[in-house]
Each structure stands twice: as C-alpha cells, then as structure tokens.
C-alpha cells in the first residue's frame, strides 16, 4: 500500500486578471482593506465591486482570512476569491507562503476545477519572480499533501481542483517564472517523497524498505545504486554502524545512490543521511513520552532520497553520491550495552556510554566510507540531538562545518530556499567533553552543548574533506497531534546543488 499522489498541474501566465476565463481568480487584500495591484484591476473592471464589499465590512484583509465572491460584474471568471495578506509592511516570506497555502486550501474546499492565483505577482522584499513562483508551487503542493492511506477510510477526497495558474505581472517575466516553476515542481516532488518516507511507520518503513525505495528511484531516474548488507559492511570494518542494529531483528542496510550527471572524473558532492528507522534508545531506553515520534529518526536518509528525486527531475549536471546508513535501534540481549567499545571503519575506537547516542555511531562509518569518492564536499543530515531542539526549536536546522566557504554556501542556499539554517560553533574547546579513559573517544559529551559535542564527534571522521553537518532534529518533522514530516531540508539541498551546477 502506498500513498497515492494526486498532483496539481501548475502553469504560469501573464495578463489582466479580469480577462482570465477560469473557474476562479484569486486576489490578495492587505490589512486594512487595501487592495493588491491585481485586485485593483478587478475592482476597476467591475466598477468598484470589491471596494463596495470591503467597505461593507465583509473582509478586513487579515492573514488567513478568505472570502469567495460569485458573479462579479464584467469579470470572465466564475468566481473571485479574496485572500487576506495581513499588513503590507509585514508581507515577508512567511506571510507570502501562508497566503498561497490558504488560497489553495480554500480552492480545494470550494469546488473550482481550475484557478488563476495572482498572489504570485505581489512583490516580497529582496525576492524575485523566480522565487515567488517557486515558493508558490512548493507551498501549494505542501498545502494539499496528505498521508491517509493507512486509515481504513481515507479522508473525503472530493477535490475537483486540478489546475493552478500562477500569474506574473508582465510578459517579460514569464521566462523567469518558468524557471521557478520547474525548480518548484522538482523540489515539491522531492519533499513529497521525503514526507512519505518519514510518515511511514517503522513497522513498514524498515531499513530494507528504505533500500527498496532507493532502488525504485534509481530505476526510475537512472541512478546507480548499491545496497550493502551486514556481511558487506562487516567486510568494510563498519563496526560502529553495525553495532547499533544488533538489538533489532530488522537487518541493517547501507544504501548508496549515485547520480552521474557531471563530467567523468569530476569530484562528487556526497550527501549522508541518518536513517534510524526506529530509535527506541537501545539498552539506554528512551522514556515513553514522544517515543512514538522516533520513526522520524530516518528523516536524514529520507531527505537524501527526496533530494535524489529532485535531482532526477532536474537532470542536474553534477555528480552526486547519497549514502544512507539504515538500521533500527532496539533493546535486546544482543544489543549494544553501555560501556561497550567498538572499532569504527576509520580504526578509531569508541566507548558507547549511552546507546541512545546512536546516530553518530552510524554516521561516523558513513563519513569514512565517503572518503573513497574523493568528494568535493560532504554534507550529512541527521535528527541527531534533542539538545538541538532545545537550542533552536523548529525553525532553523543547526549548521556545523569545518570549512567556512562551504558553510557560507549552505547559508546562502538555505536563505534562498527559505529552508533556513543557523551556524553553530565547532570549537576545539568542546572536543574535551568526548574524552574516554578506555577508548579513543566516548560517544557522549555530557549535558552541556549536546548538539555541538555530537557535531564534534562527527568532525573526527570528516578530516579528509570539506564537510558540513546539519542537525535537523527540530526541523525534519512536527510532533504532537499535527504529527508529520516536513520534508526539510530537501529544498536547501536542491538549491545548494543547483548553485553548484551553475558555477
Ligand atoms: N534521535 C535522537 C535525537 C532526537 C531527540 C531527535 C528528540 C528528535 C527529537 C538521538 O538518537 C538521541 O537519542 N540523542 C540523544 C543523545 C544523548 C544520549 C547524548 C539525545 O538527544 O537525548
Ligand atoms: Mn537515540
Ligand atoms: Zn536517534
């Protein structure tokens, strides 16, 4: 059983909104009752119909509010949907994306087959047409995302909306809009796949399942793929990675994906994603509260697979390698025990003081494996620490890097993708917290600066190349009743790769 994707068709258009022959034209209204430029066009053509309605008090323009109008005079569209944009001075990225989402959700619930959305014409400070269209596609796609195939009766699916046209204000902007459309669609599809993988519970989404999904993707887009099983990893000396899965009856898989879009011999970018399909903590068992969310502990790996989907859609002229160590962290007679010492593929030994600090144990061997590709850069993504959630919450991913230009490149891509990061220190001073009297290092650094000491641990395995680490524990999914994957940081990674491809 799979989550069936019902995709919207997107296109772009320029031209007068009053002349759009479509089921619904969506126009924005700022607070208080200030019409956006396309709304002014509709208002003029209809002899002040919108102004009358606003004056009557039906709509203030508050963010999130909507008002559907039928039979607006002199307008070719069947309906006009007014969407509140909030205060014009505060119309930044978030307000823009939220407005697109509320427009699309209202359209879904009101029976139009097709709609022309003019919100994409409204300028957002420091952003251009390409950005507006790309974010509109991503936000619209996200607003309609659902994951209900595991309910015995799926949510009601009366959804006539099939086509969405985003408006740009001038003909000359169409070509920039097209770029945004293509990028947005590829990213949206990548995010959709990452969400599906994240939302699939751990009794279904096992290491083998993830390997199967990667292979399916490889087949669809022509990637090379390689799946290493226990024996193959053992032969490579991945003693740290393999130790984590020992308490589980689900066998581990080390997934390798390769996109060879660049010149032969060109050094690849390597993306490494933590994929613990369920993190019970192992013998250092987690408390029950929120343990149900630990199926999302494979989100790093899911984001790598999602990014590969976007890479395939875009046919990026780059060499990219994806590495996904996948396993399950469970308590069992055979599981890692606190105090055990394992030997990593790098030869460095690790004293496992807490079996719940397993992410770094699987990533370190993947980072060593990455050396064989002589990478241009390595970026790993992991739901690595609860401490990261305490430090930064749900908005930025934590960024660490051993190379300032790489860090800046990622910061830039993150800002452009509106998939933000915040750089954290990786100072030598913190390394001392990882001291062990019996092995080369311990796998935990105590309570202070937990996200930083986890990154410091990884840095010891990433000395041979330019490397960055993203702690996505706070950004990859949302917990609680609105539980669900966000598909982050697929958008950031795709932008990073797009920028590299254009160099
Ligand atoms: N997967 C968790 C990190 C996590 C916690 C992600 C909460 C999302 C929400 C990771 O494997 C873990 O358990 N980390 C420990 C490390 C500690 C034992 C040093 C943590 O953060 O508590
Ligand atoms: Mn853990
Ligand atoms: Zn974990």
Residue-wise pLDDT tens digits, 468-484: 999 999 999 999 989 99
User: 151 and 197, same structural domain?
Assistant: no
| Angle between helical axes of 174-199 and 490-502 (0-180°, round to 10) | 140
Whose atoms come closest to the Cα of 450: which ligand? 1
User: 73 and 196, same structural domain?
Assistant: no
389 lines ligand 1 (CB under 6 A): yes
Residue finishing a domain among 137, 172, 207: 172
User: 98 and 215, same structural domain?
Assistant: no
User: 162 and 198, same structural domain?
Assistant: no
Distance 356 CA to ligand 3 centre (A): 7
Q: Distance between CA 56 and CA 77 in Å, rounded?
A: 23
Distance 285 CA to ligand 2 centre (A): 9
Mean pLDDT score of the chain = 97
Pocket test for ligand 1, best of 303, 386, 448 (most atoms within 8 A of CB): 386
**Active-site hit among 286, 423, 464, 483:** 286
Say whether pLDDT at 495 is over 80: yes
Q: 473: closest CA among 366, 417, 363, 397?
A: 397
Q: What is the DSSP letter of 228?
A: E
Residue-wise pLDDT tens digits, 421-471: 999 999 999 999 999 999 999 999 999 999 999 999 999 999 999 999 999
3-state secondary structure of 32: coil
Say whether pLDDT at 1 is over 90: no
**Would you say residue 223 lies in a domain?**
yes
**Would you say residue 185 lies in a domain?**
no
| Residues in CB range of 152: below 8 A, 6 or more apart | none
Instruction: Give the largest Cα separation in the chain, rounded.
Output: 83
Give the range of the structural domain holding residue 153, as residue numbers without chain letter.
9-172
Q: What is the DSSP letter of 423?
A: E
User: 157 and 117, same structural domain?
Assistant: yes
What pLDDT score does 4 carry?
80
Distance 344 CA to ligand 2 centre (A): 18
User: What value does the mean pLDDT take over residues 236-241?
Assistant: 99
Q: Distance between CA 168 and CA 165 in Å, rounded?
A: 10
Q: In whole angstroms, what separates CA 323 from the centre of its chain? A: 17
Regarding predicted confidence, which is higher, 432 or 503? 432
280 lines ligand 1 (CB under 6 A): no
**Active-site hit among 250, 258, 360, 420:** 360
Say whether pLDDT at 159 is over 90: no
Q: How many CB atoms lie within 10 A of CB 394?
A: 15
User: What value does the mean pLDDT take over residues 133-157?
Assistant: 92
385 lines ligand 1 (CB under 6 A): yes
User: 379 and 274, same structural domain?
Assistant: yes
Distance 307 CA to ligand 1 centre (A): 24
Q: 344: closest CA among 444, 243, 251?
A: 243
Q: Residue 230 belongs to what H/E stretch?
A: helix 230-236
Q: In whole angstroms, what separates CA 199 from the centre of its chain? A: 13
**Would you say residue 385 lies in a domain?**
yes
**Would you say residue 153 lies in a domain?**
yes
User: 32 and 109, same structural domain?
Assistant: yes
Residue-wise pLDDT tens digits, 100-132: 999 999 999 988 899 999 999 999 999 999 999
**Would you say residue 386 lies in a domain?**
yes
Say whether pLDDT at 157 is over 70: no
Residue finishing a domain among 139, 172, 205: 172
Q: Distance between CA 209 and CA 193 in Å, rounded?
A: 14
User: 448 and 326, same structural domain?
Assistant: yes
Query: Relative to the CA of 476, which ligand 1 atom is closest?
Result: 8
User: 368 and 482, same structural domain?
Assistant: yes
Exposed (0-12), middle (13-18) or buried (19+): which is 348, by Cβ within 10 Å? Answer: middle
User: What value does the mean pLDDT take over residues 85-105?
Assistant: 98
Task: Tell me if residue 89 is catalytic.
Answer: no
Pocket test for ligand 1, best of 303, 354, 355, 385 (most atoms within 8 A of CB): 385
Listing DSSP states for 438-481 in one string gives: SSSEES---STTHHHHHHHHHHTT-TTS-EEEEE-TTTSEE-GG
Backbone conformation region of residue 449, classed left if phi is above 0, alpha if psi is from -120 to 50, else beta? left
CATH number at residue 357: 3.40.630.10
End-to-end CA distance of the chain: 42
383 lines ligand 1 (CB under 6 A): yes
328 lines ligand 1 (CB under 6 A): no
User: 450 and 482, same structural domain?
Assistant: yes
| Residues in CB range of 44: below 8 A, 6 or more apart | 18
CATH number at residue 62: 3.40.220.10
Q: Distance between CA 354 and CA 95 in Å, rounded?
A: 43
**Would you say residue 182 lies in a domain?**
no
Q: Are the beta carbons of 456 and 434 closer than 8 angstroms?
A: yes
According to DSSP, the β-strands at 34-35 and 24-31 are antiparallel
Instruction: Give how many domains the chain has, as a whole number.
Output: 2
User: What value does the mean pLDDT take over residues 97-101?
Assistant: 98
Say whether pLDDT at 333 is over 80: yes
Q: Distance between CA 272 and CA 380 in Å, rounded?
A: 4
**Would you say residue 435 lies in a domain?**
yes
Distance 339 CA to ligand 2 centre (A): 16
User: Residue 5 — very low, low, confident or very high, per pLDDT cuts 50/70/90?
Assistant: confident
387 lines ligand 1 (CB under 6 A): yes
pTM score of the predicted model: 0.98
Residue finishing a domain among 140, 172, 204: 172
Query: Relative to the CA of 450, which ligand 1 atom is closest?
Result: 19
Say whether pLDDT at 346 is over 80: yes
Task: Tell me if residue 360 is catalytic.
Answer: yes
User: What value does the mean pLDDT take over residues 229-236?
Assistant: 98
What pLDDT score does 251 carry?
98
Distance 381 CA to ligand 2 centre (A): 15
Q: What is the CA radius of gyration of the chain?
A: 24
User: Residue 326 — very low, low, confident or very high, per pLDDT cuts 50/70/90?
Assistant: very high
Whose atoms come closest to the Cα of 277: which ligand? 3
What pLDDT score does 289 carry?
97
Pocket test for ligand 1, best of 356, 360, 393, 433 (most atoms within 8 A of CB): 356
Backbone conformation region of residue 50, classed left if phi is above 0, alpha if psi is from -120 to 50, else beta? alpha
User: 405 and 263, same structural domain?
Assistant: yes
Distance 145 CA to ligand 3 centre (A): 26
**Would you say residue 1 lies in a domain?**
no
User: What value does the mean pLDDT take over residues 407-431?
Assistant: 98
Query: Relative to the CA of 443, which ligand 1 atom is closest?
Result: 19
Q: Which two tokens stand for residue 285?
A: 């068992």
What pLDDT score does 153 carry?
86
Phi, psi of 44 (to 5 degrees): -60, -50
297 lines ligand 1 (CB under 6 A): yes
Say whether pLDDT at 69 is over 70: yes
Say whether pLDDT at 2 is over 90: no
User: 19 and 71, same structural domain?
Assistant: yes
């Amino acid at each position: 059983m799979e989550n069936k994707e019902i995709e919207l068709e997107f296109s772009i258009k320029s031209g007068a909104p009053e002349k759009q022959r479509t089921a619904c034209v969506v126009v924005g209204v700022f607070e208080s009752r200030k019409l956006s430029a396309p709304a002014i066009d509709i208002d003029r053509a209809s002899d002040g119909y919108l102004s009358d309605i606003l004056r009557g008090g039906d709509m203030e323009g508050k963010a999130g509010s909507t008002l559907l109008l039928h039979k607006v005079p002199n307008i070719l569209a069947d309906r006009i949907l007014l969407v509140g944009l909030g205060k014009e001075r505060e119309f930044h990225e978030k307000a823009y994306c939220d407005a697109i989402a509320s427009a699309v959700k209202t359209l879904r619930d009101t029976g139009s087959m097709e709609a022309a959305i003019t919100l994409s014409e409204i300028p957002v400070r420091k952003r251009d047409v390409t950005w507006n269209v790309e974010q509109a596609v991503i936000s619209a796609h996200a607003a309609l995302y659902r994951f209900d195939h595991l309910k015995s009766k799926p949510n009601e699916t009366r959804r006539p909306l099939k086509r969405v046209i985003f408006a740009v204000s001038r003909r000359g902007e169409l070509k920039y809009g097209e770029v945004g459309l293509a990028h947005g669609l590829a990213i949206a599809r990548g995010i959709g796949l990452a969400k599906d993988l994240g939302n699939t519970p751990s009794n279904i989404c096992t290491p083998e399942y993830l390997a199967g999904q990667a292979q399916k993707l490889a087949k669809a887009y022509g990637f090379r793929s390689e799946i290493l099983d226990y024996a193959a990893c053992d032969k490579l000396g991945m003693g740290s990675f393999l130790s984590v899965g020992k308490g589980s009856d689900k066998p581990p898989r080390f997934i390798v994906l390769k996109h060879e879009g660049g010149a032969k011999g060109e050094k690849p970018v390597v993306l490494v994603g933590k994929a613990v399909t369920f993190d019970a903590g192992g013998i250092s068992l987690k408390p029950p509260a929120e343990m149900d969310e630990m199926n999302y502990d494979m989100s790093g790996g899911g984001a790598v697979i999602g990014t590969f989907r976007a890479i395939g859609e875009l046919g990026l002229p780059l060499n990219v390698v994806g590495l996904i160590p996948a396993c399950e962290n469970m308590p069992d007679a055979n599981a890692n025990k606190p105090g055990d010492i394992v030997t990593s593929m790098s030869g460095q030994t690790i004293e496992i003081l807490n079996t719940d600090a397993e992410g770094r144990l699987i990533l370190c061997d993947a980072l060593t494996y990455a050396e064989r590709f002589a990478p241009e850069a390595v970026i790993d993504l992991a739901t690595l620490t609860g401490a990261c959630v305490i430090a930064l919450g749900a908005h930025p991913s934590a960024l660490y890097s051993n190379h300032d230009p790489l860090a800046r490149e990622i910061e830039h891509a993150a800002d452009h993708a509106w998939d933000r990061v915040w750089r954290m220190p990786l100072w030598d001073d913190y390394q001392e917290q990882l001291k062990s009297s019996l092995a080369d290092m311990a796998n935990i650094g105590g309570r202070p600066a937990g996200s930083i000491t986890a990154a410091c641990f990884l840095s010891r395995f990433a000395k041979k190349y330019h490397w960055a680490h993203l702690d996505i524990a706070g950004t990859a999914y949302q917990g609680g009743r609105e539980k669900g994957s966000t598909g982050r940081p697929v958008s950031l990674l795709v932008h990073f790769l797009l920028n590299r491809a254009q160099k």
